[in-house]
Structure 1
Amino acid sequence: MTLPLIDRDWLQDHPLPPMEEGCDKNGRGRALVVGGAAFVPGALLLTGEAVLRAGAGKVQLATVERVASLIGVRMPEASVLSLPSDADGEIAADAATLLKEPIDRCDALVLGPGMSATDQTETLVRALLAAPRDDLSILLDAAALTSARGDADAVRAHGGRIVMTPHPGEMATLADIDIAEVHEDPAGTAIRMARRFGSIILLKGEESFVAAPSGDILHFKGGGVGLATAGSGDVLAGIIGGLLARGAEPVTATAWGCWLHGQAGQLLSESIGRVGFLARELSPLVPGLLTGV
């Protein structure tokens, strides 16, 4: 079966919300990124920059207290929220109370970059999913999405406004199957999980698939092996999160994010080399790619 491709024709048929002249930074969209840990503070920087490069007007980064001030100095464009941590330097479950007000003020929540899968993470994710809002889009990445594997009802309660971005290993965990089964039928697996969770699923890989709860699915063939590098997924999460904050519908934001990330990888493979470029070099290419579509 030939699947619809995410390409320039698809993007032109599914444009992003217009950015009006005179729009202030709040009108361009507000994103909150929750993640990081004492031993991987930089993941949040990659995601936060990508949010702004995708056109959102404001970003707040929430991470463990011991590295929050360093994050704030490194990224002066972002406001920073300090969160309690557990003994291992991960965000503690009781951080959910501190996050309630910032979430109420944002248009998109990106949850998971740089976080590890622990019991505390599962409790935190469950608490943050407990209050659906019609005007809030959420992206679950990395440990946050695998932590939600037993909470399909909570994810479905958000009415299709949650995006989940697993790579094949995370998809195997999410679906409780062997990774070989994911590789054998990536499109079918993505559709089944989209229906189970009532969410948008982006199954990342050499070829990526964007599946909706309706059973509709899109295929992206671009990117390249150079994108298989540390931090690349954090950038992808930020691009999609920024587009969600701007008001793009979840399928549209996910498909555009997938294409922008892949095209940035292609450009770097041509200018630097097939492999060896860094995740932090992807985001600066996004504004030009957005302009060129």
Structure 2
Amino acid sequence: MKVLAAVEVDDALLHAWPLPTPQADGDKEDRGRVVVVAGSREMPGAAVLAATAAMRAGAGKLVIATPQSAAQSVAACVPEARVIALPEASDGGPSFHGLPLLQALGASTSALLIGPGMIGRESTLTFVQGLLPVFKQATVLLDAIAMDAVMTARRLAQPVILTPHAGEMAHLTGGEKDDLREEPLHAASRHAERWQVVLALKGATTIVARPDGEAWLHACHTPGLGMSGSGDVLAGVIAGLAARGASPEQAAVWGVALHARAGDVLAARYGTLGYLARELPAEIPALMHALA
């Protein structure tokens, strides 16, 4: 049996693995475009959280694609973004007919995040399957319902990051949630190889695994992060880092670490519980600076 080991993520590791640094005379084009496909009529805020987090992580340009019923409210909340209103299918997910609205962005997008707050499994998966070939040059982060695409897809052409918690991982693999929590390193490594993705299996101990078996372990003792919207923020941070030029594994490791440290800052300010997911992104820039 192969013996698995993971590198512990701490400040020393992050200091030794610096994020891509923008040039002093650079502009927004140099830090990449991130496209966030997210939200629904029931959960428009997920698109706002993820997109805001991507910008706080340093992405240069932002496009949000969200169903028509959510587009106006999302645009009002994120004035930095270009917002594309997608036609909706009967189940509330994006209609396949909305794909042409995003095709022109494929060649100029550095990172694509799909999934936060989306509903309608069948329409969403059809949309994702049609969208991925358009964004062959981008690092793709599949989150929430969009992760189901790996259950049926062949090996994807672009770098892909998945961000499941134990419950979502059990759904994707047919395993038991408790078993995954007991052996997160084995589960993350096995399925990162199986799907040929960088996989961040989230929990109090988060494992980030590459397809080749290399893995990182991040321990977090911040229970306040277990709240609505927290995962949307994490996905946005990772996507923003990828847009800046971080490799998929670096974006995932740094994203997990920054997200946890933002929770620590807010816990010190407000208490263990009760701070909000919308407050996390504002802490990211100072944390990146401190770790640079």
Return the alpha-carbon distance in structure 1 between the equivalents of residues 128 and 107 of structure 2.
Answer: 16
1:122 aligns with 2:120: no
Return the alpha-carbon distance in structure 1 between the equivalents of residues 119 and 191 of structure 2.
Answer: 22
Give the letter for the 1:204 counterpart. K
Match of 2:61 among 34, 58, 63: 58
> Which 10-residue stretch deviates more, 102-111 or 44-53?
102-111
Superposition pairs for residues 165-176 of structure 1, below 5 Å? 165-176=163-174
1:85 aligns with 2:88: yes
> Which 10-residue stretch deviates more, 179-188 or 124-133?
124-133
Return the alpha-carbon distance in structure 2 between the equivalents of residues 83 and 104 of structure 1.
Answer: 20
Superposition pairs for residues 136-215 of structure 1, below 5 Å? 136-151=138-153, 153-155=154-156, 157-158=157-158, 161-215=159-213
Per-residue CA distance 1:78-99 (angstroms, 9 max, x = gap): 1100100022332123322322
Superposition pairs for residues 13-28 of structure 1, below 5 Å? 13-28=16-31
Other-structure match for 2:102: 99
Q: Identity percentage over the alignment? A: 38
Return the alpha-carbon distance in structure 2 between the equivalents of residues 27 and 285 of structure 1.
Answer: 23
Other-structure match for 1:70: 73
> Which 10-residue stretch deviates more, 220-229 or 54-63?
220-229
Other-structure match for 2:44: 41
Residues 117 and 144, structure 1, Cα contact 8 Å, conserved in 2? no
How many residues matched?
288
SS at match of 2:34: strand
Give the letter for the 1:248 counterpart. A
**Unpaired segments of 5 or more residues in structure 2?**
none
SS at match of 2:250: helix
Give the letter for the 2:147 counterpart. L
- Compute the TM-score of the two structures, normalised by the length of structure 2: 0.95
**Unpaired segments of 5 or more residues in structure 1?**
none
Residues 33 and 47, structure 1, Cα contact 8 Å, conserved in 2? yes
Other-structure match for 2:264: 266
Residues 164 and 200, structure 1, Cα contact 8 Å, conserved in 2? yes
Give the letter for the 1:28 counterpart. R
Q: CA shift at 1:2, angstroms? A: 5.8
Q: CA shift at 1:173, angstroms? A: 1.4
Per-residue CA distance 1:173-196 (angstroms, 9 max, x = gap): 121212122122111000011001
Return the alpha-carbon distance in structure 2 between the equivalents of residues 223 and 104 of structure 1.
Answer: 40
SS at match of 1:20: coil
Show structure 1 runs of 4+ deviating over 3 A.
none
Q: CA shift at 1:131, angstroms? A: 4.8
1:240 aligns with 2:238: yes
SS at match of 1:226: helix
Q: CA shift at 1:132, angstroms? A: 6.0
Per-residue CA distance 1:94-137 (angstroms, 9 max, x = gap): 3223222223321110010111251111111111223563x411
- Compute the TM-score of the two structures, normalised by the length of structure 1: 0.94
Residues 32 and 103, structure 1, Cα contact 8 Å, conserved in 2? no
